[in-house]
Amino acid sequence: MERLTAEFFERSPLVCARELIGAKFLWRGCEGRIVETEAYAAEGDEACHTFFRPGARAFVASHPPGTAYVYLNYGVHWLFNVLVHGPQGSGFVLFRALEPLAGMERMMERRGKAKMRDLCSGPGKLTRALGIDGGAHGCQFLDGESTGIVTGAPQTVISSFRIGISRAQDLPWRFHEDANVYVSR
């Protein structure tokens, strides 16, 4: 297994979102296998922050691929995305769910949950379990000492419509591992 570098994110958000399924996400003593993602296009995607937030457009223009884009959703949950810059366009990959692999005691304490299934089965749940907040926004985490993404075994990946959004719901840009119990829904 090898660490992913920024070059991995120099492709389309759709390709990156699909190919991240099965990879391992490392974050400061915790680890989880990525089992669900969603892709967002920086241009023309009404569900992407860049569609209505000038600050998000500035972020895309001023940061390299592989940078963490972390934001507070509805004032409640931090959500973790990775910036993508490819020849077909820029965008983000949202991490929607992880299968916990290491650091579960810390995750359980942060989430106040004892069932493994409840720890990271949603984008807000996984950031809370891993201790990710707005301080991670803009960080170059891929080559960090205790952060990064490591390649994993190929998985059977299902594509479906994005969920939890009110715009551009008809795009099949959600990817998840087939029959994995840690997927959000």
pLDDT band for position 23 (cuts 50, 70, 90): very high
pLDDT of residue 168: 64
Asked if residue 48 has pLDDT above 70, the reply is no
Q: Is 102 helix (H, G, I), strand (E, B) or coil?
A: strand
Give the global pTM.
0.94
Asked if residue 166 has pLDDT above 70, the reply is no
pLDDT of residue 172: 83
Give me the chain's average pLDDT, please: 92
**What are φ and ψ of residue 132, in 5° steps?**
-90, 130
Asked if residue 49 has pLDDT above 90, the reply is no
Q: Quick one: average pLDDT of 108-118? A: 94
Better-scored residue on pLDDT, 36 or 56: 36
Alpha-carbon distance of 62 to 51, in angstroms, equals 17
Q: Quick one: average pLDDT of 16-29? A: 97
**What are φ and ψ of residue 46, in 5° steps?**
-65, -15
Per-residue pLDDT tens digits for 68-106: 999 998 889 999 999 999 998 999 999 999 999 999 999
Asked if 30 and 130 count as a contact pair (C-beta separation under 8 A), the reply is: yes
pLDDT of residue 147: 98
In order of their start, the domains of the chain are 6-177 (3.10.300.10)
